[in-house]
Amino acid sequence: DQQVKQNSPSLSVQEGRISILNCDYTNSMFDYFLWYKKYPAEGPTFLISISSIKDKNEDGRFTVFLNKSAKHLSLHIVPSQPGDSAVYFCAASSLERDMRFGAGTRLTVKP
């Protein structure tokens, strides 16, 4: 039972445009959400997070939006750069539960 879902396995955008990666979750107990980025032959690295008491968190070109009523979060990258090409994992956790990860979305940013 996948409690965190990333329904788009891949996404391709042009350099300079916005990339929007989506994530849905089913467990309403989740109250902390993270995005990790993974390059080939490396482990995932933490990118940005958001607590359920917020609906937006911004860090430079990266913004995460949380819609609790829809159990949906998204990661916006503006502007997208070729170096952003990677697999992005959404993760969710709560006090009672360890982190659960989505299947990942492969982002390709074309020059």
Partner 1 sequence: EAQVTQNPRYLITVTGKKLTVTCSQNMNHEYMSWYRQDPGLGLRQIYYSMNVEVTDKGDVPEGYKVSRKEKRNFPLILESPSPNQTSLYFCASSLSSSSYNEQFFGPGTRLTVL
Which x/- pattern over 12-51 shows residues binding partner 1 (rule: CB under 8 A)?
A: --------------------x-x-x----xxxxxx--x-x
In 10 A of CB 82, how many CB atoms? 10
Stretch that binds partner 1, among 4-12, 14-22, 66-74, 76-84 (CB under 8 A): 4-12
Maximum pairwise Cα distance, the chain: 43
Q: Which two tokens stand for residue 108?
A: 């390709």
Residues 6+ apart with CB under 8 A from 72: 22, 23, 24, 25, 66
Contact letters for partner 1, residues 51-90 (x by CB under 8 A) = x-------------------------------------x-
